[in-house]
Amino acid sequence: MPHFTTTDGTELYYTDQGEGQPVLLSHGWPLSSDAWQVEVKLLADNGYRAIAHDRRGHGRSAKTYTGNDMDTYAKDLAELVKHLDLTNLVVIGHSTGGGEVVRYAAQHGVGRVAKVITVGAVPPQMVKTDSNPDGLPIEVFDGIRAGVLKDASQFYRDLTEAFFGANRDGSNVSQGAKDDFWRQGMLVNLAAAYDCIKAFSETDFTEDLKSLDVPIFLAHGDDDQIVPIGAAAIRSAELVKDGTLKVYPGAPHGIHGDYQSELGKDILAFISK
């Protein structure tokens, strides 16, 4: 299994499959690169080099106590990209990973990043503030922190209901998909999981979005119960210079089923433009 060590000594796991234009995928919280297995194969099968890493503290990467913040996540990504010498790069991020790739592309990726894709992503900012009145109250994220500290295993099981929209009539998400979410979540270091909640909820990506000068595809389900679309992709689309917003009717936060199939086709189409 390939690993890369950052300048602060943190060992990061990544998978690297296929050949062609590089596409780098960043996962959501509290998951790992395994969340992208279907898309990695899809990209490799269609002539792309697909690379997906486990964020520090997550998956098979080092179980970090420090550096669990968005600036460090983006810096880690920049060091991995430099290590692999990737150019003409497409970056894709889901949820927290969407914030990670936006910050990376804006602050580190000039000259390397060709396109950005976000899916159910946290930008511009999740938490409600005076300047972000449509965000979620801080109490929502305090509740997530409390749940993780009290019983992370049960919290991750419970979270799958809203994550995949399993609490909606007509949901067809499998028990296996929910179990795999739990499996990935149980690999994250508790300190990293706890600190990442602040990173994904309180980081303000407004200036990052404004500074992006490459095309960005903003995908979001309109029944996303984790990152509500109104304060996320819809606002992000208003901030970027060259954005394409696609709303997936009835789609939840988690990527699965028909939503996953349609998104895969849209990713390939956007990259090939």
Q: In angstroms, what CA-CA distances link 26 with 48, 137, 140, 178?
A: 16, 26, 24, 20
- Whether residue 272 is predicted with pLDDT greater than 70 in this model: the reply is yes
Q: What is the rounded average pLDDT of the residues 113-132?
A: 97
- Whether residue 1 is predicted with pLDDT greater than 90 in this model: the reply is no
| pLDDT at site 191 | 98
- Whether residue 178 is predicted with pLDDT greater than 80 in this model: the reply is yes
Q: What is the rounded average pLDDT of the residues 259-273?
A: 97
- Whether residue 135 is predicted with pLDDT greater than 90 in this model: the reply is yes
- How are strands ordered across the β-sheet holding 89-94? 3-5, 11-17, 48-53, 21-26, 89-94, 113-119, 216-221, 243-248
Residue closest to 105 by CA, chosen among 245, 240, 226: 240
User: pTM of the entire structure?
Assistant: 0.98
Q: What is the rounded average pLDDT of the residues 108-126?
A: 98
- Whether residue 149 is predicted with pLDDT greater than 70 in this model: the reply is yes
Helix ranges (H only) for the chain are 37-45, 70-84, 96-107, 138-163, 175-185, 190-202, 206-211, 233-239, 257-272
Catalytic residues: 95, 224, 253
Number of domains into which the chain is organized = 1
3-class SS of residue 244: strand
Range of the domain at 61: 3-272
Peptide bond into 124 cis (omega under 30): yes
Name the average pLDDT for the chain: 98
DSSP 127: B
Q: What is the rounded average pLDDT of the residues 153-181?
A: 97
| pLDDT at site 62 | 98
* Phi and psi angles of residue 77, each rounded to the nearest 5 degrees, phi first: -65, -45
CATH number at residue 119: 3.40.50.1820
DSSP 256: -
Quick: pLDDT tens for 16-55. 999 999 999 999 999 999 999 999 999 999 999 999 999 9
Residue closest to 119 by CA, chosen among 144, 99, 140, 93: 93
For Cα atoms 108, 110, 112, give the angle at the middle one, nearest 5 degrees.
95
3-class SS of residue 135: coil
- Whether residue 111 is predicted with pLDDT greater than 70 in this model: the reply is yes
| pLDDT at site 99 | 98
% residues pLDDT > 90 (the chain): 99
Using DSSP bridges, classify how beta strands 3-5 and 11-17 pair: parallel, antiparallel or unpaired. Answer: antiparallel
Q: How many CB atoms lie within 10 A of CB 111?
A: 7
Residue closest to 142 by CA, chosen among 157, 128, 131, 132: 128
- Whether residue 265 is predicted with pLDDT greater than 80 in this model: the reply is yes
- Whether residue 117 is predicted with pLDDT greater than 80 in this model: the reply is yes
Residues near 167 by Cβ (< 8 Å), separated by ≥ 6? 161, 225
Q: What is the rounded average pLDDT of the residues 1-13?
A: 95
DSSP 186: T
